[in-house]
């Protein structure tokens, strides 16, 4: 069985894309993950709100992490994101919940919200599960 705490610590030190974009994995379990970010100046577009691509990226990272428990690498196959409201400041939380899991396909619903529950975006993300092991599983 996977040690989710150790994986979270590993991810937050070694996933440099997430680190460089201000994201951290804050919670995870079998079919579940949350990713958080505090909006800073580098998170904003020219209109002063959090860039929509970063909202999507948080959702994608959360969805991918929600299926790590299977022990295989997964890649995004399709994604549909609806942007509800702009985010301007504070902490943003992406919460992924797996809604379907098969041998090669997994699907997650992801909501990105503020700490007070304001909904910024909703996504449905379909992941393709490869036959490649997650390399760090042996170390955690």
Please give the pLDDT value at position 134. 83
Please give the pLDDT value at position 139. 52
Is a pLDDT exceeding 60 seen at residue 111? yes
Write down the H helix ranges in the chain.
4-14, 16-20, 52-66
pTM, to two decimals = 0.93
**91-101: strand order across its sheet:** 24-29, 32-38, 91-101, 105-114, 119-133, 72-83
User: Distance between CA 43 and CA 100 in Å, rounded?
Assistant: 31
% of the chain at pLDDT higher than 70? 95
Please give the pLDDT value at position 2. 79
Local confidence band at 137 (pLDDT 50, 70, 90 cut-offs):
low
First to last CA, the chain: 10
Is a pLDDT exceeding 60 seen at residue 138? no
User: Distance between CA 140 and CA 134 in Å, rounded?
Assistant: 11
**Going by C-beta distance under 8 Å and a sequence separation of 6 or more, which residues neighbour residue 116?**
none
Name all domains of the chain by residue range, CATH numbers in brackets: 4-139 (3.10.129.10)
pLDDT digits (tens, 9 = 90+) for 38-90: 999 999 999 999 999 999 999 999 999 999 988 899 999 999 999 999 999 99
* Of 5-9, 38-42, 100-104, 116-120, minimum mean pLDDT range: 5-9
Q: Is 106 exposed, middle or buried (0-12, 13-18, 19+ CB in 10 A)?
A: buried
Please give the pLDDT value at position 3. 85
């Amino acid at each position: 069985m996977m040690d989710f705490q150790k994986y979270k610590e590993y991810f937050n030190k070694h996933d440099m894309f997430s680190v460089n974009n201000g994201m951290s994995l804050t919670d995870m379990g079998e079919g579940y993950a949350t990713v958080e970010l505090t909006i800073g100046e580098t998170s904003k577009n020219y209109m002063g709100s959090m860039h929509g691509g970063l909202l999507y990226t948080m959702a994608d990272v959360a969805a991918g992490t929600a299926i790590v428990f299977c022990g295989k690498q997964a890649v995004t196959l399709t994604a549909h994101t609806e942007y509800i409201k702009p985010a301007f400041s504070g902490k943003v939380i992406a919460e992924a919940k797996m809604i379907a899991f098969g041998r090669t396909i997994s699907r997650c619903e992801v909501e990105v919200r503020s700490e007070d529950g304001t909904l910024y975006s909703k996504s449905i993300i379909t992941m393709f599960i490869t036959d490649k092991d997650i390399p760090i599983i042996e170390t955690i």
